[in-house]
Amino acid sequence: MALFSIENIQIKGISCAVPKDIYSNMDYERISIKEREMLIRTTGVEKRHVAKFGTTTADLCKVATNKLLNELKWQRSDIEILIFVSQSRDYLIPATACILQNRLELSKNCMAFDVNMGCSGYVYGLSIIAGIMAATKLKKGLLLVGDVSTLNTSYKDKSTFPLFGDAGTCTAIQFVDGAQMNFNLQTDGSGYEAIIIRDGGCRNYASKESFDSKKYSDGIERNRVELELDGIQVFNFSLKEVHLNILTLLEFRKNKVEEIDYFIFHQANKLINESIRKKLKIPIEKFPYSMAEYGNTSSASIPLTILAALSENLQNQNQKLLLSGFGVGLSWGSAIIDFKNVVCLPIIEMD
């Protein structure tokens, strides 16, 4: 069971950059106004920040990182580990983390690699960087997490197009005696087709046919390099697994729901998140949302929600947060972290 604690690692700061351009779902003319209203009511996504063609996750993460390093007054030469978690990397080869090491002017003595995870990516990424730093006693690390998902959604696919927004985040991690994080990480690869881009990898190498658009049903038309999402399967998985994962973690840490100050969930959609919240009997004031303004930003949604909805409540305080990410893979996980004097920067809008 991937249920464990990591000692002596703490988050020191979080920053996030989103593209300036906003798409309002009320302007989505592929569906009737009535359906748009229902979509917004059900998913909770009113608008989303959408990257210009050519802007990548790495570009957003770079802006977020520069700002945070300046704010924390961290020396670039002190960063010994950089992990980039994303499913929208710059190139198939090489790893984007390597490119970012150079663009961020970090030292050559910095280890850097990519992790290919989506909705659960922040929690997974945090466990990886914290695990390595705790074991090796590296002092300072950067966890860059985010996605430009809108690039891979089809305008003609109402099951994906209105949901996603783009964002890149940076979380500064430091070795601090006495700190603790707890994790419960899970996987069910039998559901790998629930959220998938079928072509472009090695299993189905991109071909001319990959770009042929096909109509699957009313309002659902896409090609094979665009994102496909089985809403009902994802919904069922989320209702079945996420609360159990969280209860197991709470029990492991000997915490009750009431002892957690805030529950920061991946912003899947409002119906899913509300259903899980009610199962766990979490009061709404402990359960912040950011999806109305930013949509589902994949792996970036947890740090983005902390900044968008909680910054003021968290400044200079000692709080206990439970983070939960779930989705593509299928992969899911939760973490309980102590959130103490963390620098939370305002969200940056990038041209």
Partner 1 sequence: MEDIAAFIKKIENEFEELPKETLKPETSFRQIDDWSSMHALIIIALIDSEYDVLLSGEDLRTAETIQDLFNIVKTKRS
CB of 35 to partner 1, least distance (A): 6
Q: Which is nearer to partner 1, 89 or 266 (CB)?
A: 266
Minimum CB distance to partner 1 smaller for 77 or for 236: 236
* CA dist., res. 313 & res. 301, Å (int): 18
Distance CA 212, CA 219 (A): 16
Min separation Cβ 96 and partner 1, Å: 34
Q: Which is nearer to partner 1, 78 or 221 (CB)?
A: 221
**Residue 82 or 229: which CB sits closer to partner 1?**
229
| Rounded least distance, CB 163 to partner 1, Å | 12
Taking alpha carbons only, the member of 342, 54, 42, 5 closest to residue 171 is 342
- Output 21 or 230, the one with its CB closest to partner 1: 230
The C-alpha atoms of residue 42 and residue 52 are separated, in whole angstroms, by 27
Query: Residue 76 or 279: which CB sits closer to partner 1?
Result: 279
Q: Quick one: which H or E segment has residue 11?
A: strand 2-19
Shortest distance, position 159 Cβ to partner 1, whole Å: 7
Nearest approach in angstroms of CB 70 to partner 1 is 43
Shortest distance, position 191 Cβ to partner 1, whole Å = 12
CA angle 305, 74, 309 (to 5 degrees): 10
94: three-class secondary structure by DSSP: coil
Q: Which of 349, 323, 351 is nearest to 336 (CA)?
A: 323
Q: Which residues would be at the binding site for partner 1 (CB under 8 A)?
A: 32, 34-35, 38-39, 42-43, 159, 219, 230-233, 235-236, 239-240, 271, 275, 278-279
Assess contact for 125 and 83: CB atoms under 8 A: yes
- Cα–Cα distance measured from residue 328 to residue 126, given in angstroms and rounded to the nearest whole number: 17
Nearest to 172, CA basis, from 247, 69, 262: 69
Per-residue tokens: 276:
């899980």
